[in-house]
Amino acid sequence: MSRLYGYAGKILRIDLSRREVKYEELSKDLVKRYVGGRGFNVRRLYNEVPPGTDPLGPENKLMIATGPVAGTGFPLGTRVNVSAKSPLTGILGDSNAGGHFGSEMKYAGVDQIILEGESPKPVYIYITNKTVEFRDAEGIWGQRISKAYDQILREIRDHRAQIALVGPAAENGVLFGGVFFNMIRPAARTGMGTVMASKKVKAIVVRGEGFVEVAKPGEFKALVDEIEREVYTHEQYWPRRIMGTTRILLAGNKIGMLPGFHFTKGEVDFAFEVSGEIMAVKYNVRTRGCFSCVVPCSRVYVFKDSSGLSKVSEGLEYEALAGMTVRIGNRDLRKALEAVDLVNDLGMDVITTSEVISWAMELYQRGDLRDDELGGLKLEWGNMDSVLELIKQIAYKQGFGSILSEGVARAAEKLGRGKDIAFHVKKLEMIQADPRALKGYGLGFAVASRGADHLRSEPFIELSDDPELGRKMFGEPEATMRLGVRGKGKLVAYYENICALVDSLEVCKNLAENMNILDYEKTARLLTAITGLSFTIDEVRDIGERIINLERAYLVREGIRRKDDTLPKRFLKEPMPNGRSKGHIIELQQMLDEYYEVRGWDIKTGIPKESVLKRLGLDDVVQDLKRRGVELT
């Protein structure tokens, strides 16, 4: 048996109820079939978290995993996936984040951390190469992210330690609390922080002193040099360095894809005032990056908050920017920065927060919310005093905020109003893009394994509006045109496979997907150079598809079928009212048919066919589904 290079080779299992810690060996078979990160997590979730598990009970398991690339000198290669059964959606919970945590895990000698059970009192966990400590967190329980971060750092007296934290919102049971790495890099979607807090874990601290060794240094270095050259000469390099994703806001306005005023306007007249360009000129002071990144796209910015105090903050991507400006009708960029800062500090998912607030605003505008229900809050578009107050109410489950704290689907259910405009898929709130203007994205939202989210497929290429590209890649010119319909099934399936692979490599999607630099051929070379195992292009291609099918099987087991792969009614029925996508609706059913066809899933039910699962080596899943009475075709 040859040595397994690149990985730490260990899985750390922490039982919080019994305060027991166990290291397990990482198997080569798992590596060959799932690579790391998202693949490792979903495989274990399928095996160990059966249907009927209470997401906030001790039987749910929270997993944090990184991949083979983390800790090496490969550019943009240190991300982590946090997965568990989601309290927000009741299905697969999974969220990906950057920062410095993944590499530190490797240096501390673990590839995956599993939290099981439930601690009787608040703790934080301190992981080094030699020890795993359960430390008292009574003193930091309830504190905001920034305060808790500072305090832990002082307590452990070590600036090299990396910290994953949950905020007060997660502790209070808000269903969309995130796990925050390096303070502002959250794995925010699907309420993973809420699961961590339900186990009474405030933070996980990792501090290593080890190293990562690659199997074939010469080939590895040659590949890195090649990739560096491609990165530095790429057309997206400087825009990404200067603005990160915030540049999408102005570009998105031009094509009419913004979620303006809760998806009632695809184009708004104040996009420039709140754009990434203005942000760069007025507020940004410097760039920052994740570990081992050569396209540092995070920005440090300084602004004065309402009390006149100067604040140095960081991050702010397009989702947060658009969420706290165009989606809620706010024209004041400075106040948007303040709102995003508050949401992050309280530890919530800013996308979901922007949906519940803008949803309440639309209800208020059309007279479906009474003043006495709101306890004096005035929810006119862009009323930021109310928004800031409401954010706090949500995080502490007070007043009207307590209804919103369970996500928009449950809020509409509880209130008995506004179901028609609750914008979610499978209970996960929609991101800041109108699917009527980006039809591939729309299909992606409908079928994504965690609910309405773009990062499961990110068919960025449809923005090129280049029919030749579509003809070449998919034999369908419309596939790479944003308002096209035919070929979108192929497009989304293709990019879903890539995203699943990239999430398992734990490389940044900016490099692998958006800049389109890491293809299957390079991935095969990379994995071979790092691990020393042989990876063929075909094997690598299968990995993404295997993960997608396994995730689908997980959803099927939880009762998800084709009828759940849908979009909110507005996008299917009401034509886009303005902007460059005016008059469009999304032709979802046609695209779905094509998608299932490409996937080899049953067109009526959306269940993967037995032959597909078997081809991908998921025989155990076939047996499991059959045993549970799921009919496979």
Please tell me whether residue 149 binds other proteins under the rule CB under 8 A.
yes
Please tell me whether residue 79 binds other proteins under the rule CB under 8 A.
no
Which range binds other proteins by CB under 8 A, 44-52, 142-150, 539-547, 594-602? Answer: 142-150
Pick one of 3, 22, 121, 160: the residue that binds other proteins (CB under 8 A): 160
Pick one of 38, 44, 79, 100: the residue that binds other proteins (CB under 8 A): 100
For the window 178-217, what string marks contact with other proteins as x by the rule CB under 8 A?
----xxx-----------------------xxxxxxx--x
Pick one of 3, 23, 27, 73: the residue that binds other proteins (CB under 8 A): 73
CA-closest candidate to residue 379, choices 399, 362, 356: 362
CA-closest candidate to residue 474, choices 488, 484, 460, 464: 488
Report angle CA 128, 132, 133 to the nearest 5 degrees.
Answer: 115
Residue 469 and residue 89: Cα distance in Å, rounded?
Answer: 36
Pick one of 53, 58, 142, 153: the residue that binds other proteins (CB under 8 A): 153
Q: To which residue do tokens 């499978």 refer?
A: 426
Closer residue to other proteins, CB minimum distance, 303 or 396: 303
- Answer yes or no: are the C-beta atoms of 596 and 562 closer than 8 Å: yes
Chain residues 301-330 in contact with other proteins, contact rule CB under 8 A = 302-304, 310-314
Closer residue to other proteins, CB minimum distance, 165 or 174: 165
Closer residue to other proteins, CB minimum distance, 5 or 494: 5
Please tell me whether residue 159 binds other proteins under the rule CB under 8 A.
yes
Chain residues 275-304 in contact with other proteins, contact rule CB under 8 A = 282-283, 285-296, 298, 300, 302-304
Token pair recorded at residue 545: 């598809």
CB of 109 to other proteins, least distance (A): 12
Residue 432 and residue 323: Cα distance in Å, rounded?
Answer: 7
CA-closest candidate to residue 579, choices 326, 331, 274, 260: 260
CB of 197 to other proteins, least distance (A): 20
Strand partners, 62: 115
Q: Are strands 424-425 and 92-97 parallel, antiparallel or unpaired?
A: unpaired
Residue 350 and residue 178: Cα distance in Å, rounded?
Answer: 9
Residue 184 and residue 252: Cα distance in Å, rounded?
Answer: 24
Closer residue to other proteins, CB minimum distance, 313 or 581: 313
Please tell me whether residue 130 binds other proteins under the rule CB under 8 A.
no
Token pair recorded at residue 60: 């749910």
Amino acid identity at 612: V
CA-closest candidate to residue 381, choices 279, 260, 267, 273: 260
Which range binds other proteins by CB under 8 A, 156-164, 378-386, 398-406, 465-473? Answer: 156-164
Please tell me whether residue 494 binds other proteins under the rule CB under 8 A.
no
Residue 499 and residue 459: Cα distance in Å, rounded?
Answer: 10
Residue 491 and residue 503: Cα distance in Å, rounded?
Answer: 18
Please tell me whether residue 385 binds other proteins under the rule CB under 8 A.
no
Please tell me whether residue 68 binds other proteins under the rule CB under 8 A.
no
Please give the residue ranges that form the binding site for other proteins (CB under 8 A). 71-73, 75, 100, 107, 146, 149-150, 153-154, 157-160, 182-184, 208-214, 217, 221, 282-283, 285-296, 298, 300, 302-304, 310-314, 334
